Structure 1
């Protein structure tokens, strides 16, 4: 189940975000990043969040202006063999995004999957992914193991 909330809810999230610089990593929710080893055209990346909690909990996140206004998963793409960041594009200006807040219900012992497409030029990449938002009203960052991918020209 997902819902969208308005500017007021996102402002409440933003005010909470300003209070702590680095959100904690929860022990009871794990992230797993999925992407095909080889792709032609847009690379489809999915982050699955799995709960070990005994009761359901809500996750929420706003659109990220540094990540093309997506709710998630948030990513950083590095060219293999270098420290060159390919995505998000270095030096690019943040976008003006709709001030929505998306809410997911994470069932007890269940999971949710967030998916997005990345337009990357041909090459080999390491894709890092994570969820940044709130879990049960508390700010969290749920990282996942990076995956290595090869993008071929169409």
Structure 2
């Protein structure tokens, strides 16, 4: 590099540095400590959507019935009985963790182990149609929901409940668990 090129290169680089907008130093207070601007607001935190927990349906009870069965088909019937003075419209959606059944919802535990036999805990939910089962629970009347489970031989505790909506309100009506032997 020649002696002439060096000052020209220096002047070019200096010109580029000046051309860039270099922010001025922040203002200082009387002691010389820089006064910092207010920090930028933080982005909103993703707050989970609050789930509406199902309420009890006062005046409506559930009763689960089944009989000891042979291996294979175990028929369950959940009956909702009303002591209300008015009719109630019950809506039950299909449940993708319950083999797309409308109702009743069921959990089966192996007796003596608390091992959940149904529904399986794999997290592999089914893709179900988004339709609803609609029934009218008349004042002082009852409505039954039935389904069949295929279980291997063994002794089980079966928990069951209605989960849906009643007159537009999300509700859960549980039944007492039933012990059953499948042969």
Regions of 4+ moved over 6 Å: none
What is aligned with 1:58?
Answer: 89
Q: Which runs of 5+ in 2 are unaligned?
A: 1-48
Say what the alpha-carbon RMSD is for the aligned residues.
1.1
1:115 corresponds, among 146, 149, 157, to: 146
Secondary structure, counterpart of 1:119 in structure 2:
strand
Give the deviation of 1:92 after TM superposition: 4.1
TM-score computed with the length of structure 1 as normaliser: 0.84
Q: Deviations over 1:4-30 (max 9, x none)?
A: xxxxxxxxxxxxxx7534211112110
2:69 corresponds, among 39, 64, 78, to: 39
2:166 paired with 1:135: yes
**Conservation of the 8 A alpha-carbon contact between 2:157 and 2:177:** yes
What is aligned with 2:118?
Answer: 87
* Aligned-partner Cα distance in 2 for 1:102–1:26: 18
Does the C-alpha gap of structure 1 residues 101 and 19 become closer, same or farther in structure 2, counting only changes over 3 Å? farther
1:20 corresponds, among 40, 51, 59, to: 51
Give the deviation of 1:62 after TM superposition: 0.6
Moved more, 131-140 or 89-98: 89-98
Secondary structure, counterpart of 1:39 in structure 2:
coil
Structure ranking higher on relative contact order (CA contacts 8 Å, 6+ apart): 1
* Aligned-partner Cα distance in 1 for 2:154–2:93: 31
Secondary structure, counterpart of 1:129 in structure 2:
strand
* Aligned-partner Cα distance in 2 for 1:139–1:20: 11
TM-score computed with the length of structure 2 as normaliser: 0.71
1:106 corresponds, among 132, 137, 154, to: 137
* Aligned-partner Cα distance in 2 for 1:26–1:19: 21
Secondary structure, counterpart of 1:139 in structure 2:
strand
**Conservation of the 8 A alpha-carbon contact between 2:53 and 2:170:** no
